[in-house]
Structure 1
Amino acid sequence: MKRLIVVSNRVQPPSEEASGNQGGLTLALSAVLRESNGIWFGWSGEETETYTGNINFQKSAGVTTATVDLEPQDIHEYYDGFANRTLWPLFHYRVSLAEFERGFVDGYERVNTRFADTLLPLITEDDLVWVHDYHLVPLGQRLRERGVTNRIGFFLHIPWPPMRLMVSLPNHQELVESMFAYDVVGFHTEDWKESFLDYVRAQMDAQIDEDGTIVWQGRTLKAVVCPIGIDAAAYAETATTKTARTMCRQMHESAAGRGMIVGVDRLDYSKGLQERFLGYERLLSTRESMSENVFLLQIAPPSREGVQTYQEIRASLDSLSGRINGEFATVDWVPLRYVNKGYSRDALAGIYRAARVGLVTPLRDGMNLVAKEFVAAQDPEDPGVLVLSHFAGAAAQMPEAVLINPYSPEEIADALAQALDMPLAERKSRWQALMDGLLREDVMWWLNRFMAELDPATGAEPEIELA
């Protein structure tokens, strides 16, 4: 196959020593990069006093990575600023939290230009270039301006907002116009794709064909729905490793016969954590039978701690968890265990396997792989139940979950009660249907589908497999 160059904000080099704890995306991209002798390019996560464009090449587990360091001002304006204080809240329908500052835009444009200048010498004639996520929307255009004629694809891992929200971005048309430098743009769901098409139809008067091909001012772009999956078979095996079995046993012992509800989320306002706590509080206050018979374990590692909004979320959750435990706890029962730390992939698999309910309540999410990992980690003979927000991208692929409106405490409480009381036969039936879907549309299915669109000269979808 042609050589692939993957570009993302951060690079996650694969590691032979920690292969069991690598995410599905890292494993999938590593597979295609090894097969194509490709390169993974992006920010190292490190600071430098002055940007030099020096590239740090490394090779690990057969994958070549190429990283650059950024200046503190770049990180503030591009990453903390426009990417995470402007685009992230806006694309998650939280326009009231979006900060529109000209300096953020300048930093975003500057870093994308620097990435293009630094990446340019690495691109050879037949390479395929695949750019990932909202941090790097204009990168394709910057490469075209520098004479790159290769096939370039873009995949958005977060939602695309409705047009009425998108137009609140001061430079919205400039940003969307830059996307026509790509040959293929991928979205997780039909909803996100349709929102994009609504925008280009109304704001740019673009011509749109039934297959998602868009023509605007001589440029042709193919918009595709391509939901990412996980390596479900491998994750199911992870749940049976020694570390996972030990964690599962510890959780069963700690539960002392009580039903465990688990939530695992990065500390972020898009995840619906406050709403989740309120729904759980409603369960305890309206169903006396749940007292001392259930507990919620919420794992929420902090993120973006320098952003004020995230500090406010943490303070709110600290207050809510204290209130719930203060009102309902007894001398030997804590109804809500709220943990601000992360766990390894295999330890999480063990926690998921011990849970009666997986509670995933984002207010808006591009996909949400926690929902899929929870299902993959279950014991087929005694599976837990997934309670899932309608507003997670995963909901479109997982109708057998108990689907809820996360804004309604009553719906959350009812769904939790239904899940906790669900007969084994129904739990097994729902789980089997969900697992079949995860195995059918796994991470390699996602990768092969997108690569077939990016390189149509290959004809049928290339069959890339995990090593």
Structure 2
Amino acid sequence: MSRLVVVSNRVAVPGENRAGGLAVGLEAALGARGGLWFGWSGKVVREDSGRLHEQEAGDVKYVTMDLNRADHDAYYNGFANRTLWPLLHSRLDLVDYARETRAGYRRVNMLFADRLAPLLRDDDVLWIHDYHLIPLAALLRDRGVRCRIGFFLHVPMPSADLVSALPEHGRLFGTFFAYDLVGFQTVRDADRFRTYARIFGGASVDADGVVKLPGGGSVAVGAFPIGIDAHRIAQQSAAAINKSAVRALRESLSGRRLAIGVDRLDYSKGMPERFRAFARFLERHPAERGKLTFLQIAPVSRGDVAEYQHLRDQLEGIAGHINGTHAAPDWTPLRYVNRNFPHPTLTGFYRLASVGLVTPLRDGMNLVAKEYVAAQDPDDPGVLVLSMLAGAAAELDAALLVNPYDLDGVADAIARAAAMPLAERRERWESMMRPITGYDIHAWCRAFLGRLTGSAG
């Protein structure tokens, strides 16, 4: 079996607590066949970028690379997260068009290529992840790398007209054509990429959805919706009921129902709209006041970026207004928490919650939606309120699907979820569990790698 080489912005090195769904899946894929995981170390150093660190665990080698402050700021804080992130989430109003960060992004991708190329073999299978590293395959091809290379975009693919708003977009998005396989979260995302390739790449698309390039060659394109380790989440949540933090939360509710939202602090997650929708719920359904407590967990991310600082201030203001208007001496309607919790504890919180609120304005998939469902008590499951603009909505159509901009609609969905009879809750939960368990994180890995190597799909 050929060696698997995974490349991502960050690496889940042994002993580091990075237990997200992607880390779990890639660790499982690497553990099954052995291989190499390459990426940024997470360290910002004073000296030049590019110093490598190696460690091994079992049949897996982990190789990480340091970045200096200038490279990190241009590549990560700059072009990746202030240009590509808003562009890919259809927020042209927030795109930073600075040429300097674009040059830094390319410089760091070239450094990735320089350090990675000598480690590769012709029979490797190379799997590159996400928007931080879009041009990497083309740069590796320039350095003589000829192995099979696949790419997976974890965030949404916007329409071709939005992509074209990026100056010199063809120089970046044209590098997708250096891959053998490009994977997306949804069929819609894959179709948008094919449309971009036709309009701006002069490509054609055959009956199997393969992009045929005008100069010869082709790129396979597919939808591979990322899953979770559903069995593990279910076990964690059942065990977490006895954790002190989960018991304390349950006792603090004093018999009230719980609605929960868990999101990175990011403008794509629609939290200001969600807070306002919850306020609208309290106004439109006054009989429900005092019966439901909403807990929003929102760990701070990219806290040194101005847009995120503004978002935090905005949420604090809205939360204060809601509680000032609707709270009672023995009840705070909205609990807003800016801190991380261990993942097992979060699954216990999910299991306690009668309502899961996952209402992003745009999301590639959203694994919180799937984890909330998997964490439920099968005998008494909660109800998922899910944005139709999240990739997960394509699979979880038994959720209460909402337009996150329609505050009245979200408010009424919260009321419906809180009052839903047990029989309907069970029916909806069972319907959502079928795709969650049938196409989990391990199946996702097998499907993508099978398509890349030609052994499946």
Residues 1:46 and 2:43 aligned together: yes
| CA deviation after TM superposition for structure 1 residue 53, in Å | 2.6
Q: Which of 173, 179, 184 is residue 176 of structure 2 equivalent to?
A: 179
Offset at residue 177 of structure 1 (A): 1.2
Q: CA deviation at 1:173?
A: 0.8
Separation in 2 of the partners of 1:376 and 1:73? 42
Shift of 1:222: 0.4
Q: 1:143-162 alignment to 2 at 5 Å?
A: 143-162=140-159
Deviation at 1:60, TM superposition (A): 3.6
Residue aligning to 1:380? 378
The offset of 1:125, in angstroms, is 2.0
Separation (CA, whole Å) in 1 of partners of 2:25 and 2:441: 7
Aligned counterparts of 2:278 and 2:347: Cα–Cα separation in 1: 23
The answer for unaligned runs of 5 or more in structure 2 is: none
* Separation in 1, partners of 2:297, 2:278: 15
Q: Which moved more, 1:242-251 or 1:279-288?
A: 242-251
Task: Tell me what 2:281 maps to.
Answer: 283
Provide closer, same or farther for how the CA distance between residues 355 and 99 of structure 1 changes in structure 2, counting only shifts above 3 A.
same
Task: Rate the CA distance shift 1:390–1:178 in 2: closer, same or farther, 3 A.
Answer: same
Matched, 1:95 2:92: yes
Residue 222 of structure 1 aligns to a residue whose secondary structure is: strand
1:35 to 10, 22, 32: 32
Letter aligned with residue 254 of structure 2: A
Asked if the contact 1:89/1:98 (under 8 Å) is kept, the reply is yes
Measured in 2, the distance between the counterparts of 1:52 and 1:283 equals: 51
- For 2:167 and 2:76, how far apart are their aligned partners in 1? 18
Segment drifting more, 145-154 vs 210-219: 210-219
Percent identity among equivalent residues? 48
Task: Tell me how far apart the structure 2 counterparts of residues 135 and 207 of structure 1 sit (CA, whole Å).
Answer: 27
Q: How big is the alpha-carbon RMSD for the aligned residues of Structure 1 and Structure 2? A: 1.4
Question: CA, structure 1 residues 172+440, in 2 after alignment: closer, same or farther (shift >3 Å)?
Answer: same
Superposed CA deviations along residues 337-372 of structure 1, whole A, max 9, x for unmatched, are 000001111000100000000000000000000000
In 2 relative to 1, CA 441–99 (structure 1 residues): closer, same or farther, beyond 3 Å? same
Contact 2:74 2:102 in 1 (8 A): yes
Residue equivalent to 1:449: 447
| TM-aligned CA deviation for residue 14 of structure 1 | 4.1
- What residue identity is the alignment partner of 1:208? V
Question: In 2, are the aligned partners of 1:239 and 1:245 still within 8 Å (CA)?
Answer: no
CA gap 1:61/1:295 in 2 versus in 1, 3 angstroms:
farther
Which structure 2 residues correspond to residues 290-309 of structure 1 after superposition, within 5 A? 290-309=288-307
Distance 1:395 1:211 in 2: 24
CA distance in 1, matches of 2:112, 2:298: 32
Q: Of the candidates 227, 233, 240, which is equivalent to residue 229 of structure 1?
A: 227
**TM-score computed with the length of structure 1 as normaliser:** 0.95
SS in 1 for 2:408: helix
Measured in 1, the distance between the counterparts of 2:143 and 2:4 equals 19
1:6-25 equivalent positions in 2, closer than 5 A: 6-15=6-15, 22-25=19-22
Q: Equivalent residue for 1:329? A: 327
* Deviates most, 72-81 or 57-66: 57-66
1:338-417 alignment runs, 5 A limit: 338-417=336-415
User: Is 2:426 the counterpart of 1:428?
Assistant: yes
Q: In the alignment, is the contact (CA less than 8 A) between 1:358 and 1:374 conserved in 2?
A: yes
In the TM superposition, what is the alpha-carbon distance from 1:460 to its structure 2 partner? 3.8
Deviation at 1:31, TM superposition (A): 1.9
Q: Does the aligned pair in 2 maintain the 1:181–1:219 contact within 8 Å? A: no
Q: How many residues align?
A: 456
Cα offset, 1:42, TM superposition: 0.4
CA 1:238–1:14 in structure 2 vs 1: closer, same or farther (change >3 Å)? farther
Contact 1:50 1:71 in 2 (8 A): yes
Q: Deviations over 1:210-250 (max 9, x none)?
A: 21211112231001000000010111001122576544433
TM-score by length of 2: 0.97
Per mean C-alpha deviation after superposition, the further-off stretch among 218-227 and 149-158 is: 218-227
Which consecutive unaligned segments of at least 5 residues does structure 1 have?
462-467
